[in-house]
Structure 1
Amino acid sequence: MIFVTELSTTKRTKLLISIFVKTVVLLVFVYFFICALGFLTDAFQLLGGEANAKIFKENEVLSNPVAGLMIGILATALIQSSSTTISIVIALAGSKTIPVRETIPMIMGSNIGTTVTNTIVSLAQAGSREEFRKAFGGATIHDVFNWMCVIVLLPIEVISGYLFHLTKAIVDSLDISGSSKTKRDLLKTITKPFIRLFVQIDKTALKCKAIHVNGTSRTVLKRWCGKVWTSSNADPCFPKNITGDSRCKNLFALSDLNDEEAGLILTIAALLLIVLCLFVVVKLLNSLFKGTMASIIKRFINADFPGKFGWLTGYVAILIGAGMTMIIQSSSVFTSTLTPLVGVGIVSMERMFPLTIGSNIGTTVTGILAALAVSESQVHLTLQVALCHLFFNLSGTVLFYPIPFLRKIPIYLAKSLGNTTAQYRWFAIVYLVGMFFLLPAAFFALSQGGPVVFMAVGIPFLTVLVIVILVNILQVKAPQCLPKQLRTWNFLPNWLHSLEPYDRVISKILCMKCCRNQGHKDNFKI
C-alpha cells in the first residue's frame, strides 16, 4: 500500500475522498446490520412468544434445575434476546410466580441461548473458507465459555445455593426503592426510529402471556400505540374499547397478519438484510484495511501493553467489552459486530475472548435497570434475580480468565470448531441446530423422567464426553502419556472419529463433491 504522503495532490485527494465515501457507506451498512439484528429479535419474539409463554408457565418443571437451564437456552434462542428473557424472568419473580432460586438456572441458560446470534451472523461469511473459519471460531468462543461456566457453576449452585444466598444478603443490606425510570438505551435510540417503520413488539404482551394462566388478549405484534382502555379490574393484559385512532403507524400493524405470519416474513427479510449488510461490510473492510494499513490496525487492536504491564491487556479488554455493552445494552449486537472483524482478521481470537467476557458482564446492567423499574414491594425480588445474573458472569470470569491454562481452553475449542466448519461447512448448521435446539430439548425431555433416569443416562454421557476431551488434549499436548493404542482414534470405525463419511453422504446429496475435493486441498491453520 502506498502512503498518502507519497502521492501527488490529485491522487491524494481522490484517495481521501474514496476513503471518506467508503467509511460513510460502511457506517450506513453497519447501522442497517444492527437494525437487521433488531428485526431478527422482533421476528423470533413474534414466532416464539406463545411457545415461550407456555414454557414459563410450567412451574413444576422449573423446579428441576436442568429443565430450567434448558428452558433458558430454548427461550432465548427462540426470541434472540437474553435481555427479553431476563426481563420476563424478573417479571415472574417480581409477581412471585416463580421463586428466585428457580430463576437462576434459567438465567444461566439465557447466557448460552443469546450466543446463537453470533453463530447465525458468522454463516454470512461461509463463502470464504478462511474467513468462515475465523468468523465461526470467533462466534463460538462465546458459546464455549458460557457452557464451561454453566457446567461448573450450575452444580455448585444446586448444592450450595451460593448465588442465591450471596445476592439475598446484598439485597437485604441495601436501602432500595423501586420505580427507577433512568434506563437509557443508546442503541435503541438510534435504531428504533427505523425499526418502528416496520414493526413494534408489545413487551407487555410477552410478560402477560408468561404470567397469566389463560394468556392475554394482547398480541405480541403491537398494533395500538395510543391510550388503551382496560377491563374493569384495570388489568393491562386484557384491553378493550380500542379505537382506530390509536393504531400504530408501521407496516405490520397496518396489515391483517397474525403474530406467526408476521414473524415468518420478518425473519426471512431480516436474514436477507443481515447477509447483504455483512457482504458489503466485509468487502469494504477488506478494501479499507489492506496492506500496510491492515498491519497497523491489527497491531494496534491485538497488541499487548509493553513490558511488565502486558498481563493487564486482557483485563482492559474486558472493561472495554463491558463498557461498550453497557452503552448499547446488547451483548448480541456487540459480539455479532465483532464476528465479521474476526473473520477478516482485524480482531484476533485471543482479543475476542476478553471482549466477549466483558460483554457478558456489561449486559447484566439491562437486567439491573429493569429490576429497579418496579414497585417498591417487588424490587427486592427483582433486584436479587438481576444480581444473580451479574454474579454468575463475574464468577465465570474469575474462574476461567485469570489462570492462563484455563483461559486457553475456550480459545482452543473455538478454534477447533472453526477448523471443522471450514473443512465441512455443513457442520455449522448441524452445530447451530444441535447445540441451541436439539440438545437442550433432549436434556429437557430427559430431565422430565426423574432424577434416576436423568442420572442413568446423563452421568455415562458426561463421563464419556470428559474422557474423550481429555484424551484429545493429551493426544496433541502429551501423546507419550497415553498407551500406544490411544494416541490416535484410528482403532475406532471411521464414522466414530471422523466427519469424512458423513461429508461424502451429504456431498452426494447436495451434488457438491467437486467443491468438497477442492476445499480439502486448503491448509487450515490458525
Structure 2
Amino acid sequence: MRWLIVLVSIFAIIVGINLILDGVYNVGSASTARMYDLARDPLIGLLIGILATALVQSSTTTTTLTVAAVGAGIVSVPVAIPIIMGANVGTTMTALLVAFSYMGERREFKKAFTTAAMHLWFNMLVMMVLLTVEMLFHPLQNISGELAEAFLGAGDTSAPTTHVVQAVVEPFIALIGTNGLFGMAGSAGMATLLTLGTGTLLILVAIRVMSYQLRMITAATAHSLLDKFSLSGPEDTPHIGVRSNLIGFGIGLLFTVLVTASSVTVSSMQPFAVTQSLKRRVILAVILGANVGTTLTATVATLAVVGVYGAFALQAALVHVLFNVIGSTLVLSIPRLSQMIISLAETSAGIAARSYTNALIFILGFYIAIPAAVLLLYTMMN
C-alpha cells in the first residue's frame, strides 16, 4: 500500500509541474517572468533559495519548482543556479533545529549540533567557492549544458520518455487546467492563479507524502545497516577509513533517494553521533551522500517538461547534481577539507551550547530574518 502511495505521489508531482506550465503558458512567460526579476542578481537569487527552502523545509521542493520555472521559460539557467545553491544552504536549517531536542544535556546537544553543523558548513563552503567560480567562468552552466545535450541528443528538447508521460498526464491537465475546470473561474487571471497555485500545492503535498511513506518503508533497514556499519574498525587505519567513507556515502545517497529529503538523513544521524556509535568522518560521508541523493527528484521532474525549454529544465537539474557531486568528491578525496568541516562544526556547536537562546536567534536570523529583510529592502529600492 505504501508503494502505491509513493507512485501516486510521483504522478502528482508530474501533474503539478504540468499545471504550473499550463498556467504560465496561459498568462504568457513574459508576464510571469516579472515575478522572478529579483533573482537576476546572483546574491538575491541565493537569498531567495535560502529563504524559500527554510520556509518550506525542503530543498527538493524548491529545486523542483525552480526546474519547473526553467521548463516554463520564465527563468533562465544562469538565474536558476544561485537559487539552487541557496536551496542547498536553506535545507540545513532542519537538522540544526532538530538538535535542540537534545538541549537538556549540553554534551549530547553539542554532538547533535555538530552533526547538523557539518551539513551547514559543507554546503556553505561549496556554495561560496562554486558560486564565485560560476560567476567568473560559468563551468556549471557549460558542463550541465553539454551533459543535457549528450543525454537528449542533438536537436532534441525533451527526454525520450517525456512524450509517454505526457500522454498519461495530459487528460488530467485538460480536465482541470486553464482550458478545463479552472478555466470556468470567470477570468483568465483567476484561472491562471488557480492553476499555478494548485500545481505548486500539489508538488508541496506530494513530496511531503512521498517522503513520509518512503521513510516508513526504509527507516528500519537503514538503521539496521548503520548499526552494523558502526562496527567497521578503527577510523585511523587508511584502508578502513576509505572503505568506511565510501560505505557511508553510499548509505546516505541510497537512503536520501528513497526518502527524498537530505534533512531527514542528516537528522537521523544525530542519535548515532550522540551515542558515539558512528565516527564524525563517517557521519560526514553519509551527509555527503545525502546531498547527492536529494538531487534525484528534480532530475526526474524534467520528464514532465516538453517543448523548447525541456533541455534547459534538464540542464538546471543537472546543475544541482554537479554542485553536490563536485563538492562531495573534493571533500571525500581531500582529508584536510573533511577535517576543516568537522572542526568548524565542532566550534559552532561549542558556541551554540553556551546559549540555546542566542543559537536559536542566530539560526532564525540567518535563514529567515536576514534574507527576508534584504529581499524587502532590495524590492523597495527597485
The reply to whether TM is greater than 0.5 is: yes
Structure 1 SS opposite 2:333: coil
- Identity percentage of aligned residues: 29
Post-superposition CA distance 1:283-334 (Å, at most 9, x none):
xxxxxxxxxxxxx979516744966453342133212211221122221211
In 2: Cα distance, 1:150 partner to 1:447 partner: 22
Post-superposition CA distance 1:447-502 (Å, at most 9, x none):
6699xxxxxxxxxxxxxxxxxxxxxxxxxxxxxxxxxxxxxxxxxxxxxxxxxxxx
The alpha-carbon deviation at position 177 of structure 1 amounts to: 2.7
In 1: Cα distance, 2:233 partner to 2:354 partner: 26
Matching of residue 431 in structure 1 with residue 376 in structure 2: no
Post-superposition CA distance 1:212-246 (Å, at most 9, x none):
xxxxxxxxxxxxxx999547x516765659xxxxx
Matching of residue 396 in structure 1 with residue 327 in structure 2: yes
In 2: Cα distance, 1:448 partner to 1:423 partner: 37
Which structure dedicates a bigger proportion of its chain to helix? 2
In structure 2, the CA distance between the partners of 1:141 and 1:240, relative to structure 1 (3 Å rule), is same
- Contact kept in structure 2, 1:322 and 1:355, CA below 8 Å: yes
Matching of residue 327 in structure 1 with residue 327 in structure 2: no
- Contact kept in structure 1, 2:234 and 2:240, CA below 8 Å: no
Matching of residue 113 in structure 1 with residue 90 in structure 2: yes
The alpha-carbon deviation at position 75 of structure 1 amounts to: 0.3
In 2: Cα distance, 1:311 partner to 1:374 partner: 40
Structure number with greater CO (CA < 8 Å, separation at least 6) is: 2
How much is the aligned-residue C-alpha RMSD, in angstroms? 3.6
- Contact kept in structure 2, 1:178 and 1:375, CA below 8 Å: no
In 2: Cα distance, 1:69 partner to 1:326 partner: 24
Matching of residue 418 in structure 1 with residue 349 in structure 2: yes
In 1: Cα distance, 2:184 partner to 2:234 partner: 57
Q: Which runs of structure 2 are paired with 1:369-380 in the superposition (5 Å)?
A: 369-375=300-306, 377-380=308-311
In 1: Cα distance, 2:252 partner to 2:124 partner: 19
**Aligned counterpart in structure 2 of residue 152 of structure 1, from 129, 146, 150:** 129
Matching of residue 345 in structure 1 with residue 276 in structure 2: yes
Structure 2 SS opposite 1:300: coil
In structure 2, runs of 5+ residues without a counterpart are 3-31, 154-158, 166-171, 187-200, 206-226
**Aligned counterpart in structure 2 of residue 382 of structure 1, from 313, 319, 340:** 313
Structure 2 SS opposite 1:420: helix
- Contact kept in structure 1, 2:299 and 2:317, CA below 8 Å: yes
The residue that corresponds to 1:407 in the other structure is: 338
**Aligned counterpart in structure 1 of residue 110 of structure 2, from 111, 133, 138:** 133
The alpha-carbon deviation at position 142 of structure 1 amounts to: 0.5
In structure 2, the CA distance between the partners of 1:372 and 1:133, relative to structure 1 (3 Å rule), is same
In structure 2, the CA distance between the partners of 1:299 and 1:352, relative to structure 1 (3 Å rule), is closer
In 2: Cα distance, 1:387 partner to 1:357 partner: 17
In 1: Cα distance, 2:292 partner to 2:281 partner: 18
Q: TM-score if structure 2 supplies the norm length?
A: 0.71
- Contact kept in structure 1, 2:81 and 2:319, CA below 8 Å: yes
In structure 2, the CA distance between the partners of 1:237 and 1:113, relative to structure 1 (3 Å rule), is farther
The alpha-carbon deviation at position 384 of structure 1 amounts to: 0.6
- Contact kept in structure 1, 2:102 and 2:108, CA below 8 Å: yes
Q: Which runs of structure 2 are paired with 1:93-112 in the superposition (5 Å)?
A: 93-112=70-89
Matching of residue 163 in structure 1 with residue 146 in structure 2: no
The residue that corresponds to 1:73 in the other structure is: 50
Report the residue type matching 1:179 in the other structure: T
Q: Which has the larger radius of gyration?
A: 1
Report the residue type matching 2:129 in the other structure: V
Matching of residue 64 in structure 1 with residue 41 in structure 2: yes
The residue that corresponds to 1:317 in the other structure is: 248
Matching of residue 83 in structure 1 with residue 74 in structure 2: no
In structure 2, the CA distance between the partners of 1:299 and 1:228, relative to structure 1 (3 Å rule), is closer
Post-superposition CA distance 1:137-179 (Å, at most 9, x none):
1111101110111111101111111111111111122233352
The residue that corresponds to 1:234 in the other structure is: 179
Structure 2 SS opposite 1:98: coil
Report the residue type matching 1:363 in the other structure: T
In structure 2, the CA distance between the partners of 1:316 and 1:90, relative to structure 1 (3 Å rule), is same
- Contact kept in structure 2, 1:230 and 1:240, CA below 8 Å: no
In 1: Cα distance, 2:104 partner to 2:74 partner: 47
In structure 2, the CA distance between the partners of 1:344 and 1:421, relative to structure 1 (3 Å rule), is farther
**Aligned counterpart in structure 2 of residue 361 of structure 1, from 268, 292, 299:** 292
- Contact kept in structure 2, 1:66 and 1:443, CA below 8 Å: no
In structure 2, the CA distance between the partners of 1:180 and 1:317, relative to structure 1 (3 Å rule), is farther
In 1: Cα distance, 2:88 partner to 2:297 partner: 13
Q: TM-score if structure 1 supplies the norm length?
A: 0.52
The alpha-carbon deviation at position 389 of structure 1 amounts to: 0.2
- Contact kept in structure 2, 1:119 and 1:139, CA below 8 Å: yes
In structure 2, the CA distance between the partners of 1:345 and 1:236, relative to structure 1 (3 Å rule), is farther
Equivalences, count: 307
In structure 2, the CA distance between the partners of 1:78 and 1:301, relative to structure 1 (3 Å rule), is farther
The alpha-carbon deviation at position 181 of structure 1 amounts to: 7.8
The residue that corresponds to 1:179 in the other structure is: 162
- Contact kept in structure 2, 1:82 and 1:114, CA below 8 Å: yes
In structure 2, the CA distance between the partners of 1:374 and 1:137, relative to structure 1 (3 Å rule), is same
The residue that corresponds to 2:120 in the other structure is: 143
In 1: Cα distance, 2:66 partner to 2:72 partner: 10
In structure 1, runs of 5+ residues without a counterpart are 1-30, 32-54, 183-225, 242-258, 264-295, 451-526
The alpha-carbon deviation at position 407 of structure 1 amounts to: 1.6
In 1: Cα distance, 2:33 partner to 2:234 partner: 45
In 1: Cα distance, 2:53 partner to 2:109 partner: 25
- Contact kept in structure 2, 1:228 and 1:240, CA below 8 Å: no
